[in-house]
Amino acid sequence: MMIVAGPSCLAEAKGAAVGEVLLEREGGVAKVTISSPSTKNAMTAEMFDEFARICREVDGTPDDRVLLVTGAGGDFCSGADLKSGGGEVAVSSQYHAALARMKKIHSGALALHWCSKPTIAAVRGVAVGAGANLALGCDIVYASETARFSQIFVKRGLVLDYGGSYLLPRLVGVHKAFELALTGDMVDAPEAERIGLVNKVVPDGVLDADSSELALRITKAPPIQTMLIKQNLRAGAASSMESALEAEAHAQSVAMGTEDLIEAMAAWLQKREPEFKGR
């Protein structure tokens, strides 16, 4: 296992609360842990920057087959660190300064969204604000029984960010998205599963094992094909049937020219597990 720690992030003016974003690599799984337990893993501006950098790094690393995102301790992420002075909601009357700050923070949401590798969120405890939308921005979301989600922005005098206005209507429908956004209500794990925010709810004690097992299963799939599948699913949500079929035809033509296709057919005929190389 290789572990890479992100740089130490902004400490609060009084005290030693420091957060970081950690990266571990093992067996084709790049595991990212948001770590600031004393703030329920709230993210400073530096942590948002580091998360974006890691997403881009994983996207460009052939040996990384899956990106798995989780939080340290008993929580996923409580959004921006409002006390750090560097968070997304630092009060400012300067529109252009605030806009530049938000665009910088949102680079992480885009890096996650456009990462060509499958992404999985393993959520326990709170996932609120930008933290909720970071989780929902992943391709698959596993949640423990302790997970709680909230679009808390309106209760803080803010509006949805980190992709919430894009993600919510696609996951739960327009009417439910309005309800969640305009109330900021907390949604527990069973309700999150019922309305489509998460794929699966599991006991807290097996969340790490189950999400890691899923990630490892996906690493066994042919990487070029998983990239193309993800690309088309992302595009398909916002396109016509004609556009989706056109994209699928191009992607399938690429897949048919890969060595991994030959390996898949050979393994099927020989009744064995395939060994995909990404070629």
Q: Do both 215 and 229 map to the same domain? A: no
159 plus 30 within the same structural domain = yes
Q: What is the CATH number of the domain that holds 103?
A: 3.90.226.10
Element (DSSP H or E) covering residue 10: none
Report whether 144 contacts 199 (CB < 8 A).
Answer: no
**Boundary residue ending a domain (194, 219, 244):** 219
- Same domain membership, residue 196 and residue 245: no
Count structural domains, the chain: 2
* Structure confidence by residue, pLDDT tens digits, 144-191: 999 999 999 888 878 889 999 889 999 999 999 999 999 999 999 999
Is the same domain home to 158 and 43? Answer: yes
Do 79 and 156 lie in one domain? The reply is: yes
The region of weakest confidence among 50-59, 115-124, 252-261 is 252-261
pLDDT digits (tens, 9 = 90+) for 24-59: 999 999 999 999 999 999 999 999 999 999 999 999
- Determine the straight-line distance between the first and last CA of the chain, rounded to whole angstroms: 25
Q: Are residues 68 and 135 in the same domain?
A: yes
**Is 275 a member of any domain?**
no
Is residue 49 assigned to a domain?
yes
Report the candidate in 135, 127, 86 with the shortest Cα–Cα distance to residue 109: 135
pTM: 0.84
Task: Give domain status of residue 243, yes or no.
Answer: yes
For residues 189 and 92, membership in a common domain is answered with yes
Regarding whether 189 and 85 lie in a shared domain, the answer is yes
Closest CA to 237 of 169, 179, 184: 169
3-class state of residue 5 by DSSP: strand
Regarding whether 142 and 239 lie in a shared domain, the answer is no
On whether residue 277 sits in a domain, the answer given is no
Its domain, for residue 228, covers 223-269
Q: Are residues 236 and 214 in the same domain?
A: no
In a domain? residue 149: yes
Distance of CA 119 to the CA centre of its chain: 6
Together in a domain, 202 and 252: no
Shared domain check, 260 and 190:
no
